Amino acid sequence: MKKWKLPAVALVGVASLTLGGCAGGSDGVSDDTFNVYVAAAVSGPDQLAKNAKTSVLAVQASAQIVNEKDGGIDGRQVRVTVLDDGGDPTIAVSKLWEIAAGKSHPDLYINTGASTIAAATVPILTRNKILSFSMSPTDNGSNPESAPYNFDISPSAATYAAGIAEYVAGEGLQDVGVIHGSSSYGELFGAEMVSALEAVKVKVAQSQEYDTAALDMTAQLQSLKNSGAKALIVDAYGAPLGYLLKSLERLGWEVPLIGNNSIAGTSSIATPAPAGFLGVKEAENVIMQVFQSTSFDADNVLVNNAVATMADLGKIESTLIVAQSFDAIPMVAAAAAKAGNTNLEELVEAIEDPQVQESAETAMVPVPNYSATDHSSSPDSATFTYISPSLLLNGQFGNPAAGGA
């Protein structure tokens, strides 16, 4: 496991960051620049925009750190350009084609949006031989045979589920219910969660799916209660979390809730009542799965340097769960150091090297365990921790400086 406590890096002014448009012959880019393009829904609605801005801030912070500490990637200063796709795959594809056809060939493309963006852009990135990292796994995006130049930053649903199952087994829980949304990810997580629980000999009381557009989940929760469930594993991002908690209140059912990262990624869980659910009786039973980096640790120098750099650049509006994009640039920097150049094929081979992954100063998910046969992120269970909701400070839960609920 990577050592988390590393020497501090210098935090100085932003180096070569630009927002907006596509590259072109007059944009000042040269061979001395390592061009990073970030697809993000910064003009999207509410929570989506907040998450996108936090993801962009993370990339900008990692670029600054690598530029100041290492002189860039293979001696080339990292330049970040943001492509605002509004969360629309059509816009994302259009902007990608523009930069792919431009005079400045992208050195790295980072997708911070939904799996629909990844599914639409990865084939184009592959065809144009562009190195890419995506925060939203897709069916084939991590398969080197079909997408040789793409790596998933966010762990797979199976990895998240295995971590929760290990936690549940460690707590001695049995007769566990699962409730998940009808989204493609929710359905996948639900299936993986059942399998993971069975693998660690935890009895599954029942699994229930709710319509993500529904305003009431009482029927599903009543069924889970009738099945004898003594704890619930919950997948609910955004508004569905509120409807689920209100449905529990209507039932008068007090039951432990173990939430996946969708819970921690919903801002209302960290917002005091009445505007949010922090301090609400039903939410008092919630335990959330988060990355170690999302839970404040005063001794974690690597993460704290990343957070401080992000905060210097702008307001961190969401949890660090959506800051995994930070890790792409230091991973590529470590790969370039190993390869001795930025040749695409050699970078990919180096990223697949376990020693490179161990040495990379990735802060959010320390070691993704990529391989030559699998580009999905499969970090060890120690990457996760399980915490109660609290106020956020700079994207992290549990910072005493944030005060009480």
pLDDT above 60 (res 27)? no
Domain that holds residue 199: 157-295+386-402
Based on the domain organization, do 279 and 202 belong to the same domain?
yes
Based on the domain organization, do 205 and 236 belong to the same domain?
yes
What phi and psi values does residue 343 have, to the nearest 5 degrees? -60, 130
User: Within a domain: residue 115?
Assistant: yes
Give the β-pairing of 396-397 and 392-393: antiparallel
pLDDT above 70 (res 15)? no
Based on the domain organization, do 391 and 376 belong to the same domain?
no
User: Within a domain: residue 94?
Assistant: yes
Query: What's the pLDDT at 404?
Result: 61
pLDDT above 80 (res 225)? yes
- Tell me the pTM: 0.86
User: Within a domain: residue 104?
Assistant: yes
Based on the domain organization, do 238 and 94 belong to the same domain?
no
pLDDT tens-place string over residues 110-153: 999 988 899 999 999 999 999 999 998 887 889 999 999 999 99
236 and 212 Cβ atoms separated by less than 8 Å: no
User: Within a domain: residue 6?
Assistant: no
pLDDT above 80 (res 29)? no
**How confident is residue 389, by pLDDT bands cut at 50, 70 and 90?**
very high
Task: List the structure tokens of 366.
Answer: 């320390």
Based on the domain organization, do 137 and 64 belong to the same domain?
yes
Report how far residue 383's alpha carbon sits from residue 167's, in angstroms, rounded to the nearest whole number: 12
> CATH number, domain at 244?
3.40.50.2300
User: Within a domain: residue 141?
Assistant: yes
235 and 210 Cβ atoms separated by less than 8 Å: no
> What is the maximum alpha-carbon separation in the chain?
66
User: Within a domain: residue 38?
Assistant: yes
**Which of 67-81, 127-141, 324-338 has the lowest average pLDDT?**
127-141
Query: What's the pLDDT at 385?
Result: 96
Based on the domain organization, do 161 and 151 belong to the same domain?
no
Cα Rg of the chain, angstroms = 21
Residue linked to tokens 């087994």: 169
Report how far residue 121's alpha carbon sits from residue 37's, in angstroms, rounded to the nearest whole number: 13
pLDDT tens-place string over residues 238-251: 899 999 999 999 99
Based on the domain organization, do 284 and 306 belong to the same domain?
no
Average pLDDT, the chain: 90
Based on the domain organization, do 235 and 253 belong to the same domain?
yes
Q: Name the residue with higher pLDDT: 9 or 347.
A: 347
Of 318, 299, 297, 316, which is closest to residue 308 (Cα–Cα)?
316
**3 state SS of 104:** coil
User: Within a domain: residue 132?
Assistant: yes
pLDDT above 60 (res 17)? no
**How confident is residue 380, by pLDDT bands cut at 50, 70 and 90?**
very high
Based on the domain organization, do 26 and 142 belong to the same domain?
yes
99 and 23 Cβ atoms separated by less than 8 Å: yes
User: Within a domain: residue 9?
Assistant: no
Based on the domain organization, do 200 and 213 belong to the same domain?
yes
Based on the domain organization, do 254 and 392 belong to the same domain?
yes
Based on the domain organization, do 256 and 393 belong to the same domain?
yes
Can you say whether the dihedral through the CA atoms of 72, 312, 309, 122 is positive or negative?
negative
Which residues have a Cβ under 8 Å from the Cβ of 67 and sit 6 or more positions away?
Answer: 15, 16, 77, 78
The count of domains in the chain is: 2
